[in-house]
Structures are given as structure tokens and as C-alpha cells.
Chains A and B, each alone.
Chain A
Amino acid sequence: MDHQPQLETMAVNPARVGNSKAIRMKSFYKKLAKNKAAMVGAFIVIVFSLLAIFAPLLAPYDPTEMQLSKKLETPSSEHWLGTDDKGRDILSRLLYGSRISLTVGILSTLLGALTGIILGVVAGYYGRWVDSLIMRICDVLLAFPGILLALAIVSVLGASTTNVIIAVAFYAIPTFARIVRGSTLTVKKLEYIDAIKAMGARDTRIIIKHILPNVLSPIIVQSTLYIASAIITASALSFLGMGTKPPTPEWGTMLAQGRSYVAQAPHITLFPGLVILLVVVGFNLFGDGLRDALDPKTKK
């Protein structure tokens, strides 16, 4: 479900930002490369991205073509992962589905993160009433229990892939805004910001050149984690009939539709389920690894 992994990640620790950059930059890649879990995560993510890109080349069948005579076939050499309740090739659907699910995950995160970043930086940098206003808005957004907000948005806008993206993105905004605001507040207090201000730099320069790059790393971590939960939220929306429309082979929809066959043909839910799990785990591992690598405090 829509987790709130933002709470798990740190805001920038003032001591960490400038202070330990030394150890940080140099050993970042090393640390990341050493973190086996993160590498597994990265591998999973990359493989699925490639699969998504090359889905049309790789998919053996048309993902929406029904062959009712071949419904619910178990995995065979012809249909590697079997067929679903309408005789569609599950492998092909999963391959095409990766495009949609990843797009939903990534685009919604991107959209949400971007808006969140802008709001967060503005709130954190200018403070005072701007800050109060933006943070109140975020509080209000956060006050709507997770998926309810998405549901309400989808029900208002209508169910479609685009609207699912918008809905999920919407929910991401306060999360990101808060993190960025927090980081901005700490970065803002650092002396190099004052130094450049004393130089006579304009606010825009300070924000774009000096604050943004230094608040980005928690955002990157958060994004990878959020992509994972976006995929799950999207699939939950599908379950409730408010997600992407059939016959779009979105993973969540596949999982939701196949659930009546859990007992007689487990493979048609097993595979989408596994794939969601794998990708989400992949993003999570990668995100965790990124966080650890970016956090100079982790030893070993």
C-alpha cells in the first residue's frame, strides 16, 4: 500500500552535508558497489527497465490478443508463463505491463517530486508566511489517509492511466516538499550560503546553484523508494476498479483480475505478483543502498 517511506529517510544532517563530503564523494561509488543488496536492487531495476524498453521486440505475443480456447494454460514451451483467463500470453502481458507500471511509478514520482521540490525549497528558503502557507497545504494533503486521496482524485477525474499518475503524484507532493524543506533549512544555515549571500548573489542563484544540488541526495533516495510504493498504490487502485483500464496489461490490474483464479490457476496471479514484488524490492534495495552510500555515518 501507500507506505510513507519518507519517514525512514533522514533529512540532511547538518553535520553531514558539508562536513563529511570528503569521505562522501570519494567513497560513494565504492560503498554503493560494495553494498551487495543495492547492487542486486540496481540490477533488478535495470533489467526491468530494459525489458520495458524492448518489450515489443521481446514479447512473443500480442498482449491483448485473446485466444479463449487456450485460457488458463499452465506454463509451457509455447507460453512460458502460461495464459490468463482470456487466453492471453502472460509473459507478453508482463513485458508490456512493465512499460506501464514503470511509467506509472516513475512518472508519478517525478511529477510529485518536482512539485514537492519546488514547494519545499521555496518554503524552506523564504520561510515566514510562505513557509507557513506551503506547509499548511502539505499538512492538509497529508491529512487525507493515503489511498483515499488518490481514490478521490481518480473518482473526480475518471479512471485512466494518466489520472492514476496524477493521483499518485499528488500524494507524493507533501512527502517530498517536507523532506526538501527540511534539507533546505539545514543547508540554508550552512555558512557557504551566507558567504555567497555576502557576495551579493541573488536568491535564484543561491537556490539553484547552491541549495538544490545539496538537497538532492535525500530526494534521489526518496524517489527510488517512492517509485516502489507508487507501483503498489497503482495496483491497489486497479484492485478497486479505479486504476488503469482493461485490457491494459498493468501489473496491478493483472493481479487484481486474476485473483479469482488463485486456487485453480495460481500462475496467473503468481507471476504478476512476483514481478511487482521483485521490482518493488529492487527499488527498495537500491534506495536503501543509495541512502547508506550517501550516509557517511555508515561504516563497514
Chain B
Amino acid sequence: MSLTKEESILEVRNLRTSFFTDEGEVKAVDGVDFSIEKGKTLGIVGESGSGKSITSLSILRLLQEPVGRIKEGEVIFKGEDLLKKSKKQMMAIRGNNISMIFQEPMTSLNPTLTCGEQIAESIRIHQKLNKKKAWEKSVEMLKLVGIPSPEKRAKQYPFELSGGMRQRVMIAISLACNPELLIADEPTTALDVTIQAQILELIKKLQEDMGTSLMIITHDLGVVAEMCDKVAVMYCGKVVEYADVKTVFTDPKHPYTIGLLNSVPKHDEDVEGDLAIITGSVPSPFNLPSGCSFAPRCPSAKEICHATLPELAETSDGDKVRCWIYTDQWEKEGEAVSRHE
């Protein structure tokens, strides 16, 4: 299954983003490739610090320059490289063609503007509607995201709303201009499960209604399983596995994905005894191991894993995995060596 420009709305190729700090360069995103098909949902999972958020910010070029910089790569949106666009062109795309929902509903809304104003703002910018029209549209949006008595709520400030409502307002903002692509960075992490269920349901419904493509960032494998069509698993700034959602949950390839799936305590099945675990912890971004970043924690790592970084390569069933195991090389290597710190 190869991805071609015609069917994908967004294609990220070899994206590399670094932060230049006092302590040195942090390669937050270090070679990321994936694509999103029109109307479909891509999930990006990975542990904290694996570069999920930075990937999404890089796409919209919202990084804090000059500390964070996109070093190379391409972000092809509808056939055009966003990284080559001017600032002005980017402004026209943001919020209009591509919009974004952030993790923290508490802090992502401006506390000094009413919810209505904040929704209306992007409508006025992109659709050039007058104040009154924009306001009406924003009330409509609030209704759409399921906020009761939207006229009243539109005049309220974010602090007057609960977390779930705020996230709905965020969704209303991001969907106000019918974007073709919606990026949701951990849209429900800060919410309770019952609220999370509401929000996920809402996103799913709106996506179906509007035909929006969706990119969901999360560390919750359950969310991925429920929402996505495709999954990219990230580890230390790299995509280690990129596959169909079914494949990932039924037949994970990368040892990290396998470990991850096993270490989640499940609420709907009994696990007797201890959880299977991944030993060790995520390496410091300043001090990444050479070769495969997961090698020090990998139960099956061999010499080559410590020495050389594998490519994100297609396996026989169409998945992409960044692991030596699925290469011809593997057989030639010797016994597994573990190098725990």
C-alpha cells in the first residue's frame, strides 16, 4: 500500500526539528514520515517527550523561533510544501485549511476575551464576514459542538466554563472555517473519562459530517484504537512503526510497540500476576544512544541495533517499521545483547 499525492491530504517527509538550548541541541523530531488520507484519521502515539507535539507544531510552523527550528524535511499539504510558504501564506492557511486543538483547555483560551469573540475572530479573518455575521456564525458553531444555550455561553469568558465545555469551544474555534485538516494534540488528556468520551464522540461525529481529515496526538492507546484509521508510533523523535490501526493492535511489529501494548493495564480484561514491562526509561534527549534509540531497552537488540539506526521500511504486509528484525540483515546478526544502563 503505497501512498500517493492524490489520495493524501498531508504528507510529511523526513521532518527534522531541533531545539538549540544551553545544554546543546535537542533533536525533538528526528526524521518523521507519514501521511494522512483525505477524510481519514491518523493517530500519533508515543511516550512523553517523543516529539508528538513538536511534529504537529512543525507542520503549522508554530515553533518558537529561534530556539526551535525546522532543519529539514517537507510538509506537503495538498501538493504544496508548507515549509516553503511565506509568513503571510501560512497565516491564511492556519485556522482556515488546517486548524489545531491543544491539550490544555484551561490555558489554551484567552482569558480576557469571551468565547464568542474567540470563535468569531478566526471567522472574521478567514471568511471576511462582518462583526455581526461572524458572531452569529460563532453562536451557530457553539450549538454545533453541543453547548446548551449557546447565545448565553458565547458572551461568557472561558473561566466561566468547565473543562469539557472549554474543549468544545476549542473545537468550535478550530472547525469554524471548515478546515480540511484538523490536528488535535492530546485533546482529551486533561479531561475525565466520561467527558473524554463525550469529546471524542463529538470529534468523530463532526469529522464524519464535515469530511475533515484528522490527526490525533495522544499517548492513550485506547483513544487510538477507538478513533484512528492509521497509527504512527513515535519514540525519541522518530516514527518507529506506521501502520493500519488493526495491524498495530493485533499484530504489532516493533518491540517498542509490543512492549507498550503489554504494559497497559487493561480495564476490560484480567491480567493475573505482574504486568509485562519495558525495562529502563526513555533516554535523555541530550544524550541519545547511537543506533536505534530503543536498543538499550529492547529485549531482542543485537549488536547492529546499538551500532546503526534502521530505516523506516515497509514489511511484507505493508506496515512500515523501523527495526532491524524485519530486515534481511537480522539473520546474519548474532545473539541478542542487552546493554542496560
Write the residues of chain A forming the contact surface with B, with a CB cutoff of 8 angstroms: 27, 30-31, 34, 299-300
Contact = CB atoms under 8 A, between A and B. Distances in A.
Interface in B40-92: 64, 67
Question: Which interface residue of B21, B22, B23, B67 has the most chain A CB atoms within 10 A?
Answer: B22
B25 to A, nearest CB: 14
Interface string B1-44: 00000000000000000000111000000000000000000000
Contacts of B67: 299-300
A30 B67 CA distance: 18
Contacts of A300: 22, 67
B190 to A, nearest CB: 15
Interface of B: 21-23, 64, 67
Contacts of A27: 22-23
Nearest to B67: A299
Given A31-B22, A299-B21, 8 more contacts: A27-B22, A27-B23, A30-B22, A34-B22, A299-B64, A299-B67, A300-B22, A300-B67
B334 to A, nearest CB: 38
A299 B20 CA distance: 10
The main secondary structure of chain A at its interface with chain B is helix
Question: Which interface residue of A27, A34, A299, A300 has the most chain B CB atoms within 10 A?
Answer: A299
A15 B23 CA distance: 21
Closest 9 CB pairs of A and B: A299-B67, A27-B22, A30-B22, A31-B22, A299-B21, A27-B23, A300-B67, A34-B22, A300-B22
A299 B67 CA distance: 8
A175 to B, nearest CB: 28
Contacts of A30: 22
Nearest to B22: A27
Nearest to B68: A299
Nearest to B21: A299
Contacts of B64: 299
B20 to A, nearest CB: 10
Contacts of B21: 299
A137 B23 CA distance: 46
A300 B21 CA distance: 7
Contacts of A299: 21, 64, 67
10 contacts: A27-B22, A27-B23, A30-B22, A31-B22, A34-B22, A299-B21, A299-B64, A299-B67, A300-B22, A300-B67
A187 to B, nearest CB: 22
A31 B21 CA distance: 11
A31 B64 CA distance: 20
A16 B132 CA distance: 43
A31 B22 CA distance: 8
Nearest to B66: A300
B22 to A, nearest CB: 6
Contacts of B23: 27
A293 B6 CA distance: 51
A90 to B, nearest CB: 44
A22 to B, nearest CB: 11
Contacts of B22: 27, 30-31, 34, 300
A299 B21 CA distance: 7
A24 to B, nearest CB: 12
Contacts of A34: 22
B65 to A, nearest CB: 11
A299 B22 CA distance: 8
A127 B67 CA distance: 42
Contacts of A31: 22
A159 to B, nearest CB: 48
A293 to B, nearest CB: 11
A300 B20 CA distance: 8
B37 to A, nearest CB: 37
Question: Which interface residue of A30, A31, A300 has the most chain B CB atoms within 10 A?
Answer: A300
B282 to A, nearest CB: 15
